[in-house]
Amino acid sequence: MSSTLDERLLEATTGALELFGVYLGTRLGLYRTLARHGRMTAAELADAAGVHPRYAREWLEQQAVAGFVAVDDPARPADARRYRLPADHAGVLVDPVDPAHVAPFADMVVGIAQVLDRVAASYRDGSGVPYADYGADFRRGQGGINRPAFLTELTGRWLPAAADVHARLSRPGARIADVGCGHGWSSIAMARAYPDAEVIGYDADAASIAEARGHAAAAGVAARFVRADAGAIAEDGPFDAIVALEVLHDLARPGETLAACRRALTEDGTLIVVDEKVAPRFTAPGDLAERLMYGWSISHCLPAALAEQPSAGLGTVLREDVVGDLGAAAGFASTRVVDVDAGFFRVYRLEPR
């Protein structure tokens, strides 16, 4: 290992505290204000963003020490220093559709922190913490972290990589279901890419559905959103395609959901599943991706799934062979990986025959 365990924990603590700084910067609009105005003193940032000058100064100093913002002359008196957001940091911290926009991770971590005592209690009694209880911070973070890929990559690369599915959805009258649509960015993207198709997003979380409707209205697209579990999908079919993006591993009863999707598809329909791109098998120590996915799993994905019983309790680390087994048990004739680079994700297509 490249460092001792005590050094790793010190680095992890520093990273967690820096995520809190990112949370404050996004929540209070500090990054956005810097991006809009350019070089600013602490007093100028405080006035423009509506925060207290002393807090603005401390946050700017911390951000400069961390290397997130730049300071023109560190030797100047504190009140005279001018800070700026480097242009190549704007995508990471401000632009919600930039592929590098990972600032929403901070919201997710804060959301988990707010219920971590309940997660600990669940470890003792085997229960869980419902998704809704992770609150608006986690919900906002999850929607934000997936937004760039769902708005651009889904219809720009992932679905076109399944050329026959893409062609089918481009025809007038096509019907698409988006299972576990969350904030609705994927539904919005498909409504834009396939304007002659009917797109319906489904999610069991009421707050997510409300937010998805607001996003769709602001985007001016005709995607429709329904608060419902997977059973409603079969009732509303048939669909030419169903997508389940970053949701399969979160489901308490994934087999039931996949079976409902199977029943809801047309004879030549396709289920597109996008889930985490994890290693083929468990190894330890793992790489950064495995560490990240297990981190989400122990603190959110598994507790949220176990809050509903009975539960498969899959956890975040959903390996390729498990997806194939789930598909076969639900009646799909084949499960194949789509040949497309999807970053942290793996794209599957499940065929009913």
Chain segment 83-110, per-residue pLDDT in tens: 999 999 999 999 999 999 999 999 999 9
Residue 270 gets the label, from left (phi > 0), alpha (psi -120 to 50) or beta, of beta
User: Is pLDDT at 2 greater than 80 in this prediction?
Assistant: no
Taking 90 as the threshold, does the pLDDT of residue 276 lie above it?
Answer: yes
The position carrying tokens 């997660």 is 119
| Burial (Cβ within 10 Å: 0-12, 13-18, ≥19) of residue 286 | middle
Task: Report the C-alpha gap between 64 and 70 in whole angstroms.
Answer: 6
pLDDT 10s digits, 212-267? 999 999 999 999 999 998 778 989 999 999 999 999 999 999 999 999 999 999 99
For tokens 């100064």, the residue is 57
Candidates 309, 282, 9, 101; CA nearest to 297 is 282
Q: Are 106 and 23 in contact (CB under 8 A)?
A: yes
Tell me the average pLDDT of the chain: 97
Domains of the chain with CATH codes: 5-93 (1.10.10.10), 146-289+313-351 (3.40.50.150)
CA distance 66 to 191: 41
pLDDT recorded at residue 1: 46
Q: How many residues does the chain have?
A: 353
Q: Is the pLDDT of residue 146 over 50?
A: yes
